[in-house]
């Protein structure tokens, strides 16, 4: 009874919020703080806790650093370094074109972030193109075939190849990884900066530009390139429309009468 009475008195005494705050500061918070502080203090003396904390910290920083490294700073030397996630995320890489194989593929030397000063090494018997470059196949288009393995080439095959050499070799190019093909190449959308193109503000889309000039046909197997069907159909239509326009203008390979598509040509000579 007397207890109840004194509690009631105490409550009645706390008429102002300031009183409650003062009471809290004086007693409860001090207790709490001391307790927390003491338990942390004793934990840091416990070697197991310390080891676990250091371990977790080290692991976390390791994963963060590794993620940054593989995402930005890792150099993709060759096809072996291209991971599935690089393709899934359609990673964009910057580098330089080292050589041109045909009218629609070339060799790319990757220069990762902060390593723009890198220069491609010289080719030798111990340092082959396959070791230090990616073999890039231009997405969405087929250039006329050059002579291969004793087979004659198509008209314009050599012309388009030497045009591409002049256009790309030694230039900074940006590639977007889309797919690995059966020849250990990466199918990519490729961009290059040319001073005359939009006065350098935008990069030039190489596949599109070549189709516009009549230097190739839209790639018929495009459905395998882009990851989803809607994207595929849209792109395919776009590429085919550009090809049709060049055909009508009779420019590039379309200036030649009865020009065969590279696909038909390959079918014919393989017989
Ligand atoms: C490529 O980029 C590097 C670094 O930005 C620059 O120094 C070099 O001149 C560029 N090369 C060409 C051909 O534009
Ligand atoms: C490059 O051009 C093709 C054909 O027009 C187009 O489908 C593609 O989206 C272009 N790429 C980029 C990154 O704009």
Question: Considering only CA atoms, which of 178, 78, 172, 168 is closest in space to residue 137?
Answer: 178
Q: Is 235 in the pocket of ligand 2 (CB under 6 A)?
A: yes
Q: How many residues does the chain have?
A: 271
85-113: pLDDT as tens digits? 999 889 999 999 999 999 999 999 999 98
Give residue 256 CA to ligand 2 midpoint distance, Å. Answer: 27
Is 64 buried (19+), middle (13-18) or exposed (0-12) by CB count in 10 A? Answer: exposed
Six-digit token string for 114: 């902060």
Give residue 244 CA to ligand 2 midpoint distance, Å. Answer: 16
Six-digit token string for 258: 């009865």
Confidence bin at 249 (pLDDT 50/70/90): very high
Beta strands 105-110 and 92-102, pairing class: antiparallel
Ligand lying closest to the C-alpha of residue 234: 2
Catalytic residue status for 185: yes
Residue with CA at minimum distance from ligand 2 atom 1:
205
The one catalytic residue in 75, 83, 123, 185 is: 185
The predicted structure's pLDDT at residue 124: 87
pLDDT > 70? residue 227 = no
Residue with CA at minimum distance from ligand 2 atom 9:
235
Six-digit token string for 237: 């239509």
Pairwise CA distance, residues 54 & 48, whole Å: 10
171-225: pLDDT as tens digits? 999 999 999 988 999 999 999 998 888 676 789 999 999 999 999 999 876 556 6
Catalytic residue status for 238: no
Between 220 and 115, name the one with better pLDDT: 115
Three-class SS state of 204: strand
pTM to 2 decimal places: 0.76
Question: What is the CB < 6 Å shell around ligand 1?
Answer: 116, 170-172
Pairwise CA distance, residues 135 & 81, whole Å: 12
Catalytic residue status for 137: yes
Give residue 63 CA to ligand 2 midpoint distance, Å. Answer: 35
The predicted structure's pLDDT at residue 211: 95
User: CB under 8 Å to 102, separation ≥6 — which residues?
Assistant: 143, 145, 146, 161
Six-digit token string for 74: 């890792």
């Amino acid at each position: 009874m007397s207890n109840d009475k004194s509690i009631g008195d105490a409550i009645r005494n706390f008429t102002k919020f300031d009183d409650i705050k003062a009471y809290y500061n004086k007693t409860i918070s001090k207790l709490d703080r001391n307790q927390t502080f003491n338990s942390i203090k004793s934990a840091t003396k416990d070697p197991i806790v310390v080891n676990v904390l250091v371990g977790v910290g080290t692991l976390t920083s390791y994963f963060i650093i590794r993620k940054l490294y593989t995402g930005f700073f890792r150099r993709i030397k060759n096809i072996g370094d291209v991971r599935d996630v690089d393709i899934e995320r359609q990673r964009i890489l910057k580098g330089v074109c080292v050589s041109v194989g045909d009218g629609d593929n070339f060799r790319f030397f990757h220069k990762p972030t902060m390593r723009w000063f890198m220069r491609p090494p010289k080719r030798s018997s111990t340092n082959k193109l396959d070791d230090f470059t990616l073999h890039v196949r231009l997405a969405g288009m087929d250039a006329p075939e050059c002579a291969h393995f004793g087979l004659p080439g198509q008209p314009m095959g050599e012309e388009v190849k030497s045009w591409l050499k002049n256009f790309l070799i030694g230039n900074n190019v940006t590639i977007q990884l889309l797919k690995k093909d059966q020849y250990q190449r990466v199918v990519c959308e490729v961009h290059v900066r040319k001073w005359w193109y939009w006065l350098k503000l935008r990069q030039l889309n190489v596949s599109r530009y070549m189709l516009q000039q009549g230097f190739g046909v839209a790639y018929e197997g495009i459905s395998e390139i882009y990851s989803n069907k809607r994207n595929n159909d849209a792109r395919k239509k776009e590429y085919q429309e550009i090809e049709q326009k060049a055909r009508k203008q009779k420019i590039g390979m379309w200036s030649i009468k009865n020009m065969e598509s590279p696909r038909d040509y390959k079918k014919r000579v393989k017989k």
